[in-house]
Amino acid sequence: MSKFVDYLNQEFEKRLKSNAKYSMNAFAQYLDINSGSFSEVLRKKRNLGLKKFDEICDKFKLTEEEITDYRENLISYNGGKSDFQSLEEVELEIIDNPHYSIILNLVSVVGFCDDPEWVAKAINRDVEVCEEALARLFELGLLVKNEEGQFESSKKRFVGDLATEEMKLHYISTSFDNAKDALYNVSRDKSFATSLVLSIDSSRMDEMKEELRDVVRKFMHMSDTKEKNYDEIYQLLISLSPLTQVQ
């Protein structure tokens, strides 16, 4: 059992008794933590990181003795983890929320505004979804604030070597869904799609894959301009798939 999480639950109950209208969102806001994540912490479905633990202790003006006791118990409860989730769980969360990667790229667009309503309009999502996503990405350290107080990408990789094959397939499958939607809802002057059927020598498959990787690298190079006058976010999706099983 986490004694510190129990303490937080007790603190919330005390505030609720003093003010029947007091909410979990208000408590989370007071502690400067995402309400959805905090709710899971209180329900013991998510680990509380040590950094956030220290910040909360400062809020409540706990004594050094109390902090030491709670910290030791929390580390034991977390199994040595020092973040809300393991890296694998973070990657899975982001793969399960495709709009996260869109927002991470959106911050580089000229005129970006971190107002959830602006983001929602730009990526065609609900305002609440975008508000939650911005807070969560900041909490995960994937978004940071610059000297002007504006969000920018921390440049951390979010689908890396730790992602399982199943996770990667899910991510790509979602990308295909987005591409299919664009076929019917985006004008041809703002998109490109083509398909062809080929007879191939399968012994040259590795060579063909490398050619396609070169295409990806060229697009990445084209997008990495010095001017960085980005004004839209696009998705490049390439697939080479067999239509027969002759052998």
Strand-strand pairing, 151-153 and 143-145:
antiparallel
Per-10-residue mean pLDDT of the chain, 247 residues long, equals 84 91 88 76 74 84 88 69 48 76 89 92 91 86 80 64 64 86 91 93 94 92 81 92 88
For Cα atoms 221, 143, 92, give the angle at the middle one, nearest 5 degrees: 85
Distance between CA atoms of 148 and 163, rounded to whole angstroms? 34
The pair of structure tokens assigned to 182 is 């664009």
Structural domain 87-153, CATH architecture: Orthogonal Bundle (1.10)
User: 1.10.260, 1.10.10, 1.25.40, 3.40.50: which CATH number matches 3-78?
Assistant: 1.10.260
pLDDT at res. 81 = 46
CB 20 within 8 A of CB 56: no
Q: For the chain, what are the domain ranges?
A: 3-78, 87-153
pLDDT at res. 149 = 78
**Which among 174, 159, 175, 39 is positioned nearest to 88, based on CA atoms?**
159
pLDDT at res. 119 = 94
pLDDT at res. 236 = 92
Pick left, alpha or beta for residue 49 (phi over 0 → left; psi -120 to 50 → alpha; otherwise beta): beta
SS3 of residue 21 by DSSP = coil
Distance between CA atoms of 49 and 83, rounded to whole angstroms? 4
pLDDT at res. 155 = 67
pLDDT at res. 91 = 64
Distance between CA atoms of 62 and 143, rounded to whole angstroms? 30
Distance between CA atoms of 140 and 83, rounded to whole angstroms? 9
pLDDT at res. 78 = 59
pLDDT at res. 77 = 66
For the chain, strand residue ranges (E) read: 143-145, 151-153
pLDDT at res. 197 = 95
For 125-166, strand residue ranges (E) read: 143-145, 151-153
* Cα 79 to the center of its chain, rounded Å: 23
Identify the residue whose tokens are 């002007």: 148
The pair of structure tokens assigned to 21 is 């209208």
pLDDT at res. 154 = 77
Distance between CA atoms of 176 and 173, rounded to whole angstroms? 5
Q: Indicate whether this model's pTM tops 0.85.
A: no
The pair of structure tokens assigned to 200 is 């191939």
pLDDT at res. 89 = 59
